[in-house]
């Protein structure tokens, strides 16, 4: 039986409609997790899913599962989706594409009157981005048992609102305990967030796993002094020392390419007062590499930079390598299914390693999981100018549909 084709226009229009919720002046999206905007995005998703006969099950952390009945109700479900929340400077495709591609699969099956043997579930994970409530991938993390529900509910944003309060405010906490749902597998479509597919002129990225990421909290403790009279060599300025570390992290990432990356994304400076040299500066940095041994050596280079700067500037630098994550390998049977489905539609593919965290990286611990990437124009991501073409979105949704049908029978 030939599988039906997804509707590229309908898929594109769904993205543009969703982007009207939380638009930014620059044309991007800003929908913080569990905000009124996230709640509005979920309401729109429900409006779309209800006519398709999908039944919503929602767990106590607000993870959403829209279930489509199968001919064999007891068969393990095939699940697919991503997330609707965005970073503050987000685009219209990151995460959203995974959910709306899943919706397009459901719509196409509905229009074609196809019922699969196994049930299907469209998934919308809570708080993948982790910018309002840390850590990232919170919904899938709790689902996978990497964090308890109680821990997640107690997390507070900068305004002091807890996850539990935000869930209650918008009525997003369901009765189910987060945890494995006996799925056959989980598939997550996503934009690439990098330029590789576009530069290589390829259609679909088959994600074989993720890099190893190492995260650091750094605290530079200098000494307060007066910005005017204190002679330069007597200063123990924490901000200048931190500036050296920011550049050291950057150099380590450049040397670690193409398989590696690094970033310093967060800074907090004290007293941060005009007229006073800085006493305490805090940084959040990371290094990542597809080869764990190389990630470890990048960390060693950072530690050496910390020692050198601390000694030369006579400041104290504490570095806490508080989390190492990955590498995670996705399920080879699933990645092979994705590769086969793309090839059958004459799409070109490329095996890739994901550099960022994704919900599927979490679920890989509790059920067979895999991801597919579509090209991201100019590799721009977490940015209002993030863009994939209607045809690229449709290709990704088509590969998802074909793979789902092959898996669900």
Contact positions with a copy of itself (CB under 8 A) in 107-146: 129-131, 134, 136
Instruction: State the Cα–Cα distance between residues 228 and 299, nearest whole angstrom.
Output: 37
Neighbour tally for 289: CB within 10 Å: 27
Cα→Cα distances 399→2, 41, 332, 351, Å: 13, 25, 16, 15
Q: Which range, of 45-53, 82-90, 148-156, 174-182, touches a copy of itself by CB under 8 A?
A: 82-90
Examine residue 162 and tell whether it contacts a copy of itself (CB under 8 A): no
* Binding positions for a copy of itself, 242-281, rule CB under 8 A: 242-244, 246-247, 250, 253-254, 257-258, 261-267, 269, 271-279
Instruction: State the Cα–Cα distance between residues 318 and 309, nearest whole angstrom.
Output: 12
Q: Which range, of 50-58, 165-173, 238-246, 388-396, touches a copy of itself by CB under 8 A?
A: 238-246
Instruction: State the Cα–Cα distance between residues 172 and 293, nearest whole angstrom.
Output: 42
Closer CB to a copy of itself, residue 89 or residue 340? 89
Which positions ≥6 away from 253 have C-beta within 8 Å?
Answer: 260, 261, 262, 263, 287, 298
Examine residue 51 and tell whether it contacts a copy of itself (CB under 8 A): no
The least CB distance from residue 107 to a copy of itself, in Å, is 29
* Binding positions for a copy of itself, 336-375, rule CB under 8 A: 354-357
* Binding positions for a copy of itself, 89-108, rule CB under 8 A: 89, 94
Tokens read off for 359? 């919900």
Closer CB to a copy of itself, residue 179 or residue 321? 321
Which positions ≥6 away from 286 have C-beta within 8 Å?
Answer: 213, 214, 215, 216, 262, 263, 265
Site size for a copy of itself, by CB under 8 A? Answer: 72
The least CB distance from residue 106 to a copy of itself, in Å, is 28
Closer CB to a copy of itself, residue 11 or residue 211? 211
Q: Which listed residue (3, 381, 388, 392) binds a copy of itself by CB under 8 A?
A: 381
Q: Which residues pair with residue 325 across a beta bridge? A: 213
Instruction: State the Cα–Cα distance between residues 257 and 252, nearest whole angstrom.
Output: 9
Closer CB to a copy of itself, residue 94 or residue 121? 94
The least CB distance from residue 388 to a copy of itself, in Å, is 14
Instruction: State the Cα–Cα distance between residues 358 and 380, nearest whole angstrom.
Output: 17
Examine residue 229 and tell whether it contacts a copy of itself (CB under 8 A): yes
């Amino acid at each position: 039986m030939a599988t039906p084709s997804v509707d590229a226009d309908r898929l594109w229009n769904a993205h543009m409609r969703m982007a009207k919720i939380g638009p930014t002046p620059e044309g991007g999206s800003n929908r913080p997790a569990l905000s009124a905007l996230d709640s509005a995005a979920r309401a729109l998703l429900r409006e779309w899913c209800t006519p398709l006969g999908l039944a919503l099950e929602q767990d106590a952390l607000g993870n959403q599962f829209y279930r489509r009945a199968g001919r064999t109700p007891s068969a393990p479900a095939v699940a697919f989706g991503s997330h609707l929340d965005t970073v503050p400077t987000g685009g219209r495709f990151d995460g959203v594409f995974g959910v709306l591609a899943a919706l397009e699969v459901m719509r196409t099956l509905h229009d074609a009157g196809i019922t699969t043997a196994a049930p299907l579930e469209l998934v919308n994970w809570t708080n993948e981005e982790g910018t309002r409530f840390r850590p990232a991938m919170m919904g899938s993390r709790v689902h996978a048992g990497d964090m308890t529900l109680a821990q997640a509910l107690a997390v507070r944003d900068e305004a002091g609102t807890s996850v539990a309060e935000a869930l209650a405010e918008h009525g997003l906490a369901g009765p189910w305990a987060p945890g494995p749902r006996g799925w056959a597998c989980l598939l997550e479509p996503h934009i690439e967030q990098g330029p590789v597919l576009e530069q290589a002129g390829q259609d679909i990225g088959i994600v074989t796993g993720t890099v190893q990421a190492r995260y650091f909290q750094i605290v530079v403790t200098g000494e307060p002094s007066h910005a005017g009279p204190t002679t330069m060599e007597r200063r123990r300025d924490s901000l200048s020392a931190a500036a050296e570390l920011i550049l050291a992290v950057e150099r380590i990432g450049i040397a670690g390419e193409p398989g590696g990356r690094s970033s310093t994304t967060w800074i907090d400076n004290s007293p941060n007062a005009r007229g006073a040299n800085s006493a305490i500066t805090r940084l959040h940095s990371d290094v990542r590499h597809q080869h764990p041994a190389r990630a470890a050596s990048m960390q060693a280079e950072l530690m050496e930079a910390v020692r050198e700067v601390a000694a030369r500037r006579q400041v104290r630098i504490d570095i806490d390598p508080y989390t190492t994550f990955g590498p995670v390998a996705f399920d080879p049977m699933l990645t092979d299914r994705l590769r086969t489905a793309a090839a059958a539609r004459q799409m070109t593919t490329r095996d890739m390693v994901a550099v960022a965290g994704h919900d599927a990286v979490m679920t890989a611990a509790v059920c067979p999981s895999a991801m597919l990437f579509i090209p991201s124009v100019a590799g721009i991501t977490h940015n209002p100018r993030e863009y994939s073409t209607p045809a690229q979105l449709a290709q990704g949704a088509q590969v998802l549909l074909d793979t789902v049908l092959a898996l669900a029978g």
